[in-house]
Chain A
């Protein structure tokens, strides 16, 4: 294979949007270095954002593998995680006790919600993405009423004067903000590496790899790859889809708990509304398709997408003096999703 052919093959394997993102990233780093933006800060910032978002992206992997496609209903899991968080905080739990209680409650609720949601998705095969999106929207806006009306008592969670219900944004600083980030954290000057959180995510990723080799894992993957074949092999496709959805939803719940502990705030009400989209975009940028995904797709995708977002702000600020990060986010993430949706034929249930 000549050098030219090799380059062409790499390009077609990566796909145009992915290649654009990579080139854009390189250009931004070079531009930043030239303009004197401290590159160490950029890297530190990128790692922080990666760790914060990685679990939410990882939750896309079981969903895609079991055949429901990218989980646009991620807010279902996020709500479970938020419930875990506020319940743990309502009891005044702090430190690792608080964090692990929130995680355990979130995962538990996530499995319950996920099983219900998975049964719904089994009835709407072929339209999982659209139904998922609007089920997510409906649950988030329905939960707005719940946050407003539920009798939470802890004064740090509710408005002290004049307001009603839980606060829109609750600070975690009195509870367990950054406990996992700061565990074994490495600090050199302005550089900061959240070792604890990264190790935790690595552990989940390794566990998931092991799960992929298990009976359930392989059966789930087969159900997503080829329904007829899976059925012939005696696998209940419906059960596998429910299992994958439940796993994805539970990981989404875990994801928002990690996100909140890293961010230092719990955001309620309409904040989770759009949270599925960056996770979907990240896994697709990492090389997944609506039919196939792996842990490495999620990790690489989150790293690329979050790095892009982290460095766009300071670099473009130094060049044109305006913030175009929101615009870059909208165009890159949604461009990637459109690209994935328009390529190839999806599941056998498409078309009328």
Chain B
């Protein structure tokens, strides 16, 4: 009995190595930062509210076998296009938020279709294709908003357009929809205020994802994710299923970016989407997800821990090494390293399995 118990503890640690390591890292970071827990919780909860939707939008493609969706940037771009439209038309509050989602929707579908088509042609290298596609679309995005805004797109507001008469300025003020979701239902518990409406959106999405996987479509996705060939033989339309997963992820990503930016309050037109994929993916992996397995719980846990570490590392760097910059470089390093580690681990396990076969 004792031996069996010991074995299971070992197995638990082995199966959850990344989250456990991160939990310890977070704990040390919190101690080293020397900040009161209340302050840290407030910050972490605020960041969790605005980021968890984006992280959750990565779950479906992983289950469908497309790996970590680096093309989520495309969804973010669609969301930002929606926000730019709302800011130009000056539609306020919740109405503005929904208009932004509505404008972003067809764009996200189009971009998601592009990503899906490319990934179906690049099976086995979906992740690198998705990442490069993100860079490529960033070029298109810049072309549209640097040269299209004010010429083709009817944006006239001099606060948004560069002095030359066309092209969007670097920052767009999102005052019209700032905190429209966060402030809808805010509850204070001690020193911490909870934006319940924003959490409700994430909760709704979590519920939706869980429900999806109990439907026929969700089961198909699982089958495709486990083995393409077997799914094909079983009569599942593989390419179509993968395409649906990409469309879903991109549309959800656009909504996620809108939720994220309604909290931030300003849009850095050419910059806000730059790190979206890296940070969302790193957060998901921190929660214990892998290239082939992800759950809603891992997404939420990962978002919380990743962002807690994000908050404490500059303070910890300041206290331990006398430099806040070290902490900032450290958190960028952690984000990249956790992705590199997970990718390597995944390929390692797969090649071991291939040898066993």
Interface residues in chain A, defined as those with a beta carbon under 8 Å from any beta carbon in chain B? 72, 120, 123-127, 129-131, 133-135, 137-138, 141-142, 144-145, 148-149, 164, 277, 320-322, 324, 326-331, 334-335, 337-338, 341-342, 345-346, 349-352
Contacts and interface: CB of A to CB of B under 8 A. Distances in A.
Nearest to A135: B340
Contacts of B336: 134, 137-138, 141
Given A138-B333, A342-B122, A349-B351, A322 B147 contact: yes
Contacts of B121: 342
Given A144-B333, A145-B326, A148-B325, A338 B132 contact: yes
B125 A341 contact: yes
Nearest to B121: A342
The 4 closest A-B pairs by CB, nearest first: A350-B124, A330-B139, A124-B347, A134-B340
A164 B128 CA distance: 36
Contact of A142 (B123, B333, B343): B333
Given A125-B347, A148-B326, A334-B136, A346 B142 contact: no
B123 A148 contact: no
B124 A346 contact: yes
Contacts of A334: 132-133, 135-136, 139
Given A142-B333, A346-B124, A351-B124, A327 B139 contact: yes
B140 A331 contact: yes
Interface residues of B, number: 48
A346 to B, nearest CB: 7
A164 B327 CA distance: 14
Contact of B350 (A72, A133, A331, A352): A352
Contacts of B142: 326-327, 330
Given A148-B329, A164-B325, A342 B129 contact: yes
7 contacts: A120-B344, A127-B347, A134-B343, A138-B333, A141-B335, A330-B138, A331-B140
A277 B344 CA distance: 20
A351 B228 contact: yes
Contacts of B118: 338, 342
A352 B226 CA distance: 8
Interface of B: 65, 118, 121-125, 127-129, 131-133, 135-136, 138-140, 142-143, 146-147, 164, 167, 226-228, 321, 323, 325-326, 329-330, 332-333, 335-337, 339-340, 343-344, 346-348, 350-351, 354
Contact of A341 (B128, B143, B146, B226): B128
Given A123-B344, A324-B147, A330-B139, A130 B330 contact: no
A113 B339 CA distance: 20
Given A137-B336, A145-B326, 20 more contacts: A123-B348, A124-B348, A124-B351, A127-B127, A129-B128, A134-B336, A135-B340, A135-B344, A138-B337, A148-B323, A164-B325, A322-B167, A324-B143, A324-B146, A328-B139, A331-B139, A341-B122, A341-B132, A352-B227, A352-B350
User: Main SS of the interface on chain B?
Assistant: helix
A145 B316 CA distance: 14
Contact of A350 (B123, B143, B343): B123
A123 to B, nearest CB: 5
A345 B123 CA distance: 8
A230 B142 CA distance: 46
Contacts of B343: 124, 127, 130-131, 134
Contacts of B335: 141
Contacts of A327: 139, 142-143, 146
A279 to B, nearest CB: 14
Contact of A125 (B143, B337, B351): B351
B333 A131 contact: no
A113 to B, nearest CB: 15
B227 A141 contact: no
A329 B147 CA distance: 16
In this complex, which of B129, B325, B336 has the most chain A Cβ atoms within 10 angstroms of its Cβ? B336
A138 B340 contact: yes
A144 B323 CA distance: 13
Nearest to A331: B139
A155 to B, nearest CB: 20
A200 B131 CA distance: 35
Nearest to B230: A352
Contacts of A322: 146-147, 164, 167
B340 A137 contact: yes
A25 B129 CA distance: 26
B6 to A, nearest CB: 29
Given A145-B326, A322-B147, A331 B136 contact: yes
Nearest to B323: A164
Contacts of A145: 326, 329-330, 333
A267 to B, nearest CB: 16
A277 B128 CA distance: 12
A145 B321 CA distance: 11
Nearest to B123: A351
Nearest to B354: A349
A85 to B, nearest CB: 20
In this complex, which of B125, B326, B344 has the most chain A Cβ atoms within 10 angstroms of its Cβ? B125
Nearest to B140: A331
B346 A127 contact: yes
A67 to B, nearest CB: 14
B340 A335 contact: no
Contacts of A142: 329, 333, 337
A133 B351 contact: no
A313 to B, nearest CB: 15
Given A142-B333, A334-B135, A131 B129 contact: no
